[in-house]
């Protein structure tokens, strides 16, 4: 009988968890989706690159929404069991209250352990890939829109006038380039052809005039090939390789902390990040402590009630988290206690509610 009840509760918990995961993940994805759509429509970024950015952004969002979904799963499941008098029926059949709570706690612990593994082996790698792609999209500016017999900006103070544009080969023909220079007269380049290659313009078969403040001071240079190099913002993203603390696994963070300690460098922020990476996954288990007894005490069910209570508890949780971080940064609390502050408070409140629910 107990195995049947276990399966029944777990089935409801998983269903409600997935529902909550969908709701909260969708909320987090709204801003990201709008930004990605802007990349495609207004910046001309390839859809494939944008899809990669979307996929690599998901793990870091799921780490936040796993605990939220667990809380909603507990609230909806046990709220429904309580409202339908199923909790009373189970207790009448001799099943203890703590036996029911244990089922939910095992579920919360399982999600917490999965979150730790996800945060250790998946999130650091996808964060690095996401940051690399984002820098590529942000810093690698697109080639300017080119038209025939019109002036257009080519970045870095360059203005182009093109007689013909070969769209098939992406080549400019019979062009004039005005190069603005700080505290100097502009240079003028007249050339037969030009092409955009990687991070620079390649100009072929032309003449460059450098004008100086006096009328007689004009330098002429004939060339068969010239390169106009653009600024680093056109593709220097590959040079970025330093990992942030948020991109490190627990093992990497631990190693970094030991290395910096030997060099007598302050590592308080890294230590706080280390304990934060352990405390956040266990939010799923902590939410079970407060969510299940609260749902039983409420005597009301429904997804709207579950969503409403979840939002209130999550807001309270993150408020406590902010307080803990502030106390940790101010050296009022040790890093471990500061980062686990919200979990401890939630568990204490949950234990009080459990005693109340049992009565």
CA 73 – CA 284 distance, rounded (Å): 10
Cα dihedral 124, 125, 128, 130 sign: negative
What's the pLDDT at 38? 84
Tell me if 71 sits within 8 A of 145, measured CB to CB.
no
DSSP per-residue codes, 275-315 = HHHHHTTTHHHHHHHHHHHHHHHH---SHHHHHHHHHHHHH
Predicted TM-score (pTM) above 0.85: no
pLDDT, average across residues 193-204 = 78
Residue 349: partners with Cβ closer than 8 Å, 6 or more residues away: 289, 290
Distances from the Cα of 84 to the Cαs of 19, 78, 80, 87, 255, in angstroms? 20, 10, 6, 8, 52
pLDDT in tens, 33-57: 998 888 888 777 888 988 999 999 9
Domain ranges of the chain: 2-138+244-358, 156-229
Q: Residue 212 pLDDT more than 70?
A: no
Locus of tokens 């080519």: 154
Query: What values do phi and psi take at 332, rounded to 5?
Result: -80, -35
Locus of tokens 């505290």: 183
Mean pLDDT of the chain: 84
CA 352 – CA 359 distance, rounded (Å): 11
pLDDT, average across residues 272-282 = 95
Position 237 confidence tier, pLDDT thresholds 50, 70, 90? very low
Residue 85: partners with Cβ closer than 8 Å, 6 or more residues away: none
What's the pLDDT at 234? 38
CA 253 – CA 272 distance, rounded (Å): 10
pLDDT in tens, 132-159: 887 777 655 554 556 667 677 666 667 8
* Segment among 18-32, 244-258, 276-290 with least mean pLDDT: 244-258
């Amino acid at each position: 009988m107990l195995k049947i009840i276990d399966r029944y509760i777990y089935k409801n918990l998983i269903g409600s968890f997935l529902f909550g995961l969908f709701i909260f993940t969708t909320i987090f994805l709204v801003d990201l989706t709008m930004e990605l759509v802007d990349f495609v429509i207004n910046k001309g970024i390839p859809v494939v690159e944008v899809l990669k950015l979307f996929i690599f952004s998901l793990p870091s969002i799921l780490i936040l929404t796993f605990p939220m979904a667990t809380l909603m799963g507990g609230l909806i499941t046990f709220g429904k069991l309580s409202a339908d008098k199923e909790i009373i029926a189970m207790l009448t059949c001799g099943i203890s209250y703590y036996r029911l709570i244990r089922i939910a706690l095992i579920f919360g612990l399982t999600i917490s352990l999965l979150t730790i593994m996800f945060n250790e082996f998946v999130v650091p790698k996808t964060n690095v890939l996401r940051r690399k792609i984002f820098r590529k999209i942000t810093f690698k500016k697109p080639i300017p829109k080119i038209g025939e017999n019109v002036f257009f900006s080519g970045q870095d103070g360059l203005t182009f006038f093109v007689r013909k544009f070969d769209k098939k080969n992406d080549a400019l023909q019979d062009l004039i380039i005005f190069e603005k220079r700080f505290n100097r007269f502009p240079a003028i380049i007249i050339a037969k052809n030009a092409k955009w290659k990687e991070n620079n313009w390649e100009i072929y078969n032309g003449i460059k005039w450098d004008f100086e403040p006096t009328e007689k001071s004009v330098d002429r240079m004939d060339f068969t090939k010239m390169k106009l190099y653009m600024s680093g913002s056109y593709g220097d993203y590959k040079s970025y390789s330093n990992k942030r603390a948020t991109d490190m696994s627990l093992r990497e963070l631990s190693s970094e902390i030991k290395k910096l300690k030997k060099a007598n460098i302050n590592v308080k922020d890294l230590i706080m990040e280390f304990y934060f990476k352990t405390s956040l996954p266990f939010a799923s288990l902590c939410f079970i402590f407060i969510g299940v007894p609260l749902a039983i005490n409420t005597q009301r069910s429904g997804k709207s009630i579950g969503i409403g209570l979840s939002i209130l508890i999550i807001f309270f949780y993150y408020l406590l988290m902010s307080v803990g971080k502030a106390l940790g940064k101010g050296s009022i609390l040790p890093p471990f206690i500061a980062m686990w502050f919200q979990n401890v408070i939630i568990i204490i409140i949950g234990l009080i509610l459990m005693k109340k629910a049992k009565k």
